[in-house]
Chain A
């Protein structure tokens, strides 16, 4: 079983985690047209490569970002989400 590193709890078996999809920035709903909104809601890039994803460590309730190379099946880095300065 794979090991995933929670930024708070350290390396744990991947069965403790929930994967929640690629990080994609929401376009401004008041500005974007319907097509680009639909693209944001429905389209995901499944091509293998380096991905930035939402992961959740269920026992501790920790959300974080993981960067994975899905070609080599390697977790490159994990970190807590840092909000962009307003």
Chain B
């Protein structure tokens, strides 16, 4: 039974800070500095979890989160579905339960599955779900028995913030190598960030002691790093992803930091790997480094009589650490035939610890806890069962080998090779600016500091600071740190390779036999390494097994691809909060005060309509439209793109980017412009005003403004014409004052003559309005007498209010996008992007009149020449609808002719002026003759009859917008 030791030098627990928590409903005490695992072990609770598939009893394996044995759910206010007990600090009041348990840990009803394991072969999912008929059965079963924590959807939302950080050199991992790297780089003058996932820095040097006091060299290093002003230490921080150009995702608590470094040193160390033998997952069997962590960090004695399974020198240091804390060693079982001499070995011999060289553990015995180890001679990777014997114990410690914690290196783009001497993958080629040192680099023991120093200096030099080290000595040791085959087969199976997914040795043989003999295929078929620990304790053994089955070396088998994130983190970090940039016109607040209901248009917020108490949305929109038709209305069109182009070539440039002719315009006039892309697709339209000989001012569509300005810039970069392009979209506000009474309203605000002679239709004037300099264009988008007024944005609110005041007597009404869409539809004016799509050419859109093919060049001209040689396919046409069904017709409904698709509705609305539904549709050309009847299929599948009519639907002559006659109408 596990227990808390008396104070251990350097322990992380703070005994003067007790905390209370509960587990499976029982109350326990722990200390500040405990993690969930250590706090439970301190209370003698050492059955801590159930396995994913077979619900086998589980306890500590790595004590470092390199396995998923210990996943807990916390309830109450701090609800979290999947806490990793090894790496989660204990907090006061935690209410913990194990995940994946039916009943209690001690009597989990799911443990029946362990006895049915023969029915759950490798590739079970693929086989089970092959049958459609049985799919629902298996799904229900697996959903009940599988899975981890339960999500409480009523839990309060936790916000996960993002922040950005920068440094010269980032060092990941604060062990001996990382500390040295950070210090060397900082001494050279680099700004260094040192991150470590643990509560305190020092890495394995602090707990891998061989029974001795902490290494004074490392202690001095820690002090120097902590004092150095050039080093920022970030503990409890996971470096989770390595992205392009040294961009690292750091997770600390509820925050993610996106850190950009000039150079990165990876000193993440090595992850100890379990040995594979029957029942190697029984509680009480753990890695040597796990026992060391528990003893020195948390003062936990996890057992008192152990068998040590050894495959490298680390096992002997671990054995001394155990001996020094009151744990008796029943025997050391070493997989190697001959054991290299070391001080640790001599000390253990002196302590008369029995040593069994050339032996393995063939099987562990026990129920809810290990009770003994069956030992057998081990030769050529096979156990000799004829000479086996039993060693009773209540713990087994495995120290047989390592795998580099190389996830970040792989993500950075490093290639790794297998070093046969070390028995480990080590970096082969590192990308520029990425460095590795220490165990992840294959350097063990005292050389780690020198290796770290070299890497730190090289990283600083890459960041342009100082000089790289001239130390080019090979710092890697000549002895293996990992046993090449710590794996023992057993007829009874249950010798686990992947503890997350309950994968046994035979599963790999079966998968290979079934043809999945490539490491990536093997991974997916067996699901090895696909559990929460992502292969940290299982991939290396899987590679060794596959290599042996294929008669290759691990290097030839290779590794699987490592992807971000290298540690499981709450999904909230990846989701975060969404930020959508929204643009508002300068008069947004006035719209809001006037009851505007806003809608998105591109990234702009525009008033859809202005809500009126006691009036429906439709009624309000119709009232706005009516105001424009009969009196005067005012709309904010400041979202239009507004571009000025100045210079001797300005006119010539416009002729190349628009289809029309502009060079011959007289100053003070406007012209409609259509823009095509290279494929002759209509991409934008607007009004071009010539203000002077060398200055044009033009508008683009709201959603097209950024793209049009950008593309014009590119074209002039390419063409190098003598003109400059200025984007005034945000600089200028624009309002359209429209309606038969618009002139009389505007006239009250200006001394300039606005009459038909002085300011005719399509004229442009730079005049003062209410004392503000304005550009005024007389255009008729909504089909009435209208003035589009552009002023600098800072005058926008003053002008808006002045116009509303001036129009008050005439019954002026602000109108929104919906009313404008209705009004322009009555005029048959198209909206690019609504009535056209990504393939529509100007002939189809009905704007061929604005295309001047006799110009020498414009964008899209050559393609349009080719298109015009072919028969036209479709054409935008106006239609009207009668009858009850008309209101069912919506935009994008299909036009059906002889059962075939023959077009689609692009715009449709009820016209209060015309007292019927009108719309535009892109129709097959044979349907476009005036008077043709066609049918539209509405949402419920019914066909609604429509008839092609001429556009404009309203004021076909355009008299209202063009002439003095409008004044007569207004009276």
Which residues of chain A have a CB within 8 Å of any CB of chain B? 1-3, 18, 20, 29, 34, 37-38, 40-42, 54, 56, 58, 61, 63, 73, 81, 83
Contacts and interface: CB of A to CB of B under 8 A. Distances in A.
Nearest to A83: B720
Contact of B866 (A20, A38, A61): A38
Contacts of A73: 244
Given A1-B244, A56-B713, 20 more contacts: A1-B243, A1-B260, A2-B244, A20-B714, A29-B861, A34-B866, A37-B862, A37-B863, A37-B866, A38-B866, A41-B679, A54-B714, A56-B714, A61-B713, A61-B727, A63-B714, A63-B717, A73-B244, A83-B718, A83-B720
Contact of B247 (A1, A18, A61): A1
Interface string B855-878: 001000111001000000000000
Contact of B718 (A34, A58, A81): A81
A54 B718 CA distance: 10
Contacts of B678: 40-41
Contacts of B247: 1
Interface string B232-254: 00000000000111010000000
B710 interface: yes
Contact of A56 (B679, B710, B727): B710
Contacts of A83: 718, 720
Nearest to A18: B710
A39 to B, nearest CB: 12
Given A34-B866, A37-B863, A3 B245 contact: yes
A42 B245 contact: no
B728 to A, nearest CB: 13
Interface SS majority for chain A: mixed
27 contacts: A1-B244, A1-B245, A1-B247, A1-B258, A2-B244, A2-B245, A3-B244, A3-B245, A20-B710, A29-B857, A29-B861, A29-B862, A34-B866, A37-B862, A37-B863, A37-B866, A41-B678, A41-B679, A41-B863, A42-B679, A56-B710, A58-B710, A61-B710, A61-B713, A63-B713, A63-B717, A83-B720
A73 to B, nearest CB: 7
Interface in B678-733: 678-679, 710, 713-714, 717-718, 720, 727
Interface string B299-339: 00000000000000000000000000000000000000000
A72 to B, nearest CB: 9
Nearest to B246: A3
Nearest to B680: A41
Contacts of B260: 1
A2 B866 CA distance: 41
Which of B714, B718, B727, B862 has the most A CB atoms < 10 Å from its CB? B862
Nearest to A3: B245
A54 B714 CA distance: 9
Interface string B244-283: 1101000000000010100000000000000000000000
Interface in B770-816: none
Contacts of A29: 857, 861-862
Contacts of B713: 56, 61, 63
A59 to B, nearest CB: 12
A1 to B, nearest CB: 5
A38 B862 CA distance: 9
Interface string B664-680: 00000000000000110
Contacts of A61: 710, 713, 727
A73 B244 CA distance: 9
Nearest to A40: B678
A56 B247 CA distance: 22
Nearest to B862: A29
Nearest to A64: B717
Contacts of A42: 679
Contacts of A1: 243-245, 247, 258, 260
A58 B707 CA distance: 10
A83 B715 CA distance: 12
A48 B236 CA distance: 41
Nearest to B860: A41
Contacts of A54: 714
Contacts of B710: 18, 20, 56, 58, 61
Interface string B156-196: 00000000000000000000000000000000000000000
A58 B581 CA distance: 15
Contacts of A2: 244-245
Interface string B430-458: 00000000000000000000000000000
A76 B857 CA distance: 35
B670 to A, nearest CB: 26
Contacts of B857: 29
A21 to B, nearest CB: 10
A56 B710 CA distance: 8
The 3 closest A-B pairs by CB, nearest first: A29-B862, A2-B244, A83-B720
Nearest to A74: B432
B655 to A, nearest CB: 15
Nearest to B258: A1
A44 B266 CA distance: 40
B333 to A, nearest CB: 49
Contacts of B866: 34, 37-38
Contacts of A63: 713-714, 717
Contacts of B862: 29, 37
A35 B206 CA distance: 72
Nearest to B869: A34
Nearest to B679: A41
A66 B705 CA distance: 25
B440 to A, nearest CB: 24
A59 B153 CA distance: 41
B870 to A, nearest CB: 11
B656 to A, nearest CB: 12
Contacts of B861: 29
Contacts of B679: 41-42
A29 B862 CA distance: 6
Contacts of A41: 678-679, 863
A14 to B, nearest CB: 8
A14 B902 CA distance: 44
